[in-house]
Structure 1
Amino acid sequence: MSSVHLVSQSGLAQEIRARTHVLKADEPVGAGGTDTGPAPYEILLSALAACTSLTLRMYADRKGWDLGRIEVEARFLRDANGEESIRREVFFSLPQAADSQERLAAVWEKTPVTKTLKRSLPITTTFRPAE
């Protein structure tokens, strides 16, 4: 399946290798890092958002639906009791019929990364319609 190789020379900055790609991970300066890349939770949220968007695009393309621009915003939350969750918002720049929105909502709930993360924490998704 998928794998990555991580290298850390010193400090909190990390070099991540995934196939032929090189990514960075770090912590913000306020958390002791040098801010040379996204923090680990930001990378986790990026994986969820990317998987959501590309899965929706593949599905819509197969159906012949034009979604326009897809935007996905994801936030990691931890409440006062230590309970963790993710809030995700999905936006299409082109309006969609109600039945299409329902089908697309069913698709984003079944994306591979969504299914993996939902095994350990809740993900709440809202749809922001085109204006």
Structure 2
Amino acid sequence: MKKVKRILNKEDSDNPYKVKKEREKRLLSNLNNPVIRNLLSFEIPIDLVLDNATIHSSELSMAVFKILNINPIFLPIRSPDLNPIEDLWGMIKDRIYKTYYTSLDELITIFEKAFEEFVVRESLYENWIKDMV
């Protein structure tokens, strides 16, 4: 009964929620270290396009974005056509579905080759930018 009370009170050190919160706290503490903050002050601002996944707009994510000088740009809900990475994943999935493989290592190799082949195509990004303008 004591263990149940500790878990309910989030006092148990094995409690996943408590472990997660402790990790978040340590991450923010490390990023707020004066030495790291000084190094990050020289970084140029970055615009990062994100979908509306909950984790992208969490308090922790927003705090990390601010520290790292990242400007999050959130896409409208249910608009995968505006996210160029969706096109890349579609092309990779198509390649994987059309290829015969017998092991996980083969699947990983196929994925890596397809990713390297498709990701170097600047046209994915360029076409997305043209469509947005």
TM-score by length of 1: 0.28
Structure with the larger helix share: 2
The structure with the largest alpha-carbon Rg is: 2
